[in-house]
Structure 1
């Protein structure tokens, strides 16, 4: 009799395990869950932001927080969507890691100097543009490089960041140049200082931030492309995208956007704050 009870007990335990595993198997993957519903429940939106890009997203080692224009815009949008108690959580991303992290469901949205392009729109959805940048060049003061045309010579080395569309743009506008691709902007700036290239190229807003940290360098040549930044969201998250666009419209209408823009770019030499304001 005892053996029978033991046998039935084992069968019951196996049944519970099977039910439990079935429930886990039927649960949607994190990236397929409704982001807006989850965020409202947790009162938190998780944003992928840069942590190496002055003015947009830079880690402050004093308090270990990421600060910048993108971070402040993300916080403002979070408050509009979730209310005054809503929390913006920041996860550090790079140009290489941001889309994989979004696709895997590790973050809810990307706000990280990300240009809206047709190629990227095949992978993710974008909000309306929240910042209009343009690609330019950062060079050492006194450099003979004055515009992108000066790069179009055999053997000329230009520094860029892997995953940024600025690399592809240089290959288009200066096809004879050699492009050295590095993983982030900190490495790119170090490479420029050590003479591994005659210019560093990316969006002008990013370059102005780098120039402000490195007085011996300047932005030249004006913008030779248009780079509208958007907030990237996983496909299939229509309600969340709608809320992000609504929040963007509201912070532009109530003056929050311009206050944040002036905070970060109002005193940046060479940046036309009034032209960029909305």
Structure 2
């Protein structure tokens, strides 16, 4: 009987510890000796795959630095970084269920998403626009009447398109790509007339196309959205560790250097530059670090 009570006590303690770690990422990291980073395979210069398990991009490098800072903060001699490829459709569930500790891709910070996850301080403020074939004659949303528009499943761009569709009273067909590469392929092969998404993702897709000069980004900004690193909700200690690292990287000039590296200089694998200077909104985010959602931004 005594042995059963001891066994039951151990089981209850273990269950309690597991529950505590589910809400305490730093405790989980210390216990398992690793941190799991959600990575994107085709999210423009923010995050993408080079093949053979190698990842790159602005947010990917920011997260590499965050992990290094957390390792120092916790006094760990080693901290293994594990990588889990995520998509627009599964990234939030994988963060919520603990599969991924920190997602470093191209996720828009919105009020709806803040009910499910938390976001680190914003380092990139995006404009949603559209990519078209250079000879398409499409210059704005008004030219999309009767056309086919593609967006990526799980992104907020589709909502933006629908809102503008109602406002301008134009009629177009909507299709979805399973990821950004698939969406661009639909444009490239003529199955879609326009690809609507974050401008840096569009620029990255064009830069890696077989013939980049065959495409261009056109039209007015459809929305302005803060893109941020995503973590679990209600984990104040981990959020502070992430935000502290971001603040350090901004203060010592690391962020400005990384932005220049990924958005202004030639990047692999095509060695083509996106040539996207930091916008006024992005620079303002660096100067006044915050985790405000999309709804607090306005299209100029």
Give the TM-score range, shorter chain: 0.7 to 0.9
> Equivalent residue of 1:60, what SS?
strand
Displacement after TM superposition at 1:28 (Å): 3.0
> Equivalent residue of 1:264, what SS?
helix
Displacement after TM superposition at 1:31 (Å): 7.0
Moved more, 164-173 or 139-148: 139-148
RMSD: 2.5
**Residue 95 in 1 paired to residue 88 in 2?**
yes
Q: Which has the higher contact order (CA 8 A, sep 6+)?
A: 2
**Residue 71 in 1 paired to residue 60 in 2?**
yes
**1:95·1:162 contact (CA, 8 Å) conserved in 2?**
yes
Aligned residue in 1 for 2:224: 226
> Equivalent residue of 1:47, what SS?
strand
Distance 1:18 1:87, change over 3 A: closer
Displacement after TM superposition at 1:85 (Å): 5.2
Aligned residue in 2 for 1:56: 46
**1:43·1:82 contact (CA, 8 Å) conserved in 2?**
no
Distance 1:269 1:233, change over 3 A: closer
Aligned residue in 1 for 2:295: none
> Equivalent residue of 1:55, what SS?
helix
Aligned length in residues: 265
**2:148·2:172 contact (CA, 8 Å) conserved in 1?**
yes
Residue 257 of structure 1: which of 245, 255, 258 is its match? Answer: 255
**Residue 34 in 1 paired to residue 24 in 2?**
yes
Residue 174 of structure 1: which of 156, 165, 172 is its match? Answer: 165
Displacement after TM superposition at 1:164 (Å): 0.3
Q: Point out where structure 1 has 5 or more consecutive residues left out of the alignment.
A: 1-10
User: TM-score, with normalisation over the residues of structure 2?
Assistant: 0.79
Displacement after TM superposition at 1:149 (Å): 2.9
Aligned residue in 2 for 1:146: 139
Between the aligned partners of 1:234 and 1:78, the Cα distance in structure 2 is: 16
Displacement after TM superposition at 1:273 (Å): 3.9
> Equivalent residue of 1:233, what SS?
strand
Displacement after TM superposition at 1:73 (Å): 0.8
Between the aligned partners of 1:232 and 1:264, the Cα distance in structure 2 is: 20
Distance 1:274 1:234, change over 3 A: closer
Pair member with larger Rg: 1
Between the aligned partners of 1:149 and 1:69, the Cα distance in structure 2 is: 33
Between the aligned partners of 1:239 and 1:149, the Cα distance in structure 2 is: 47
> Equivalent residue of 2:88, what SS?
coil
Q: Point out where structure 2 has 5 or more consecutive residues left out of the alignment.
A: 266-272, 287-300
> Equivalent residue of 2:28, what SS?
helix
User: TM-score, with normalisation over the residues of structure 1?
Assistant: 0.85
Residue 272 of structure 1: which of 277, 280, 291 is its match? Answer: 277
Between the aligned partners of 2:69 and 2:33, the Cα distance in structure 1 is: 12
Between the aligned partners of 2:247 and 2:178, the Cα distance in structure 1 is: 33
Distance 1:97 1:139, change over 3 A: same
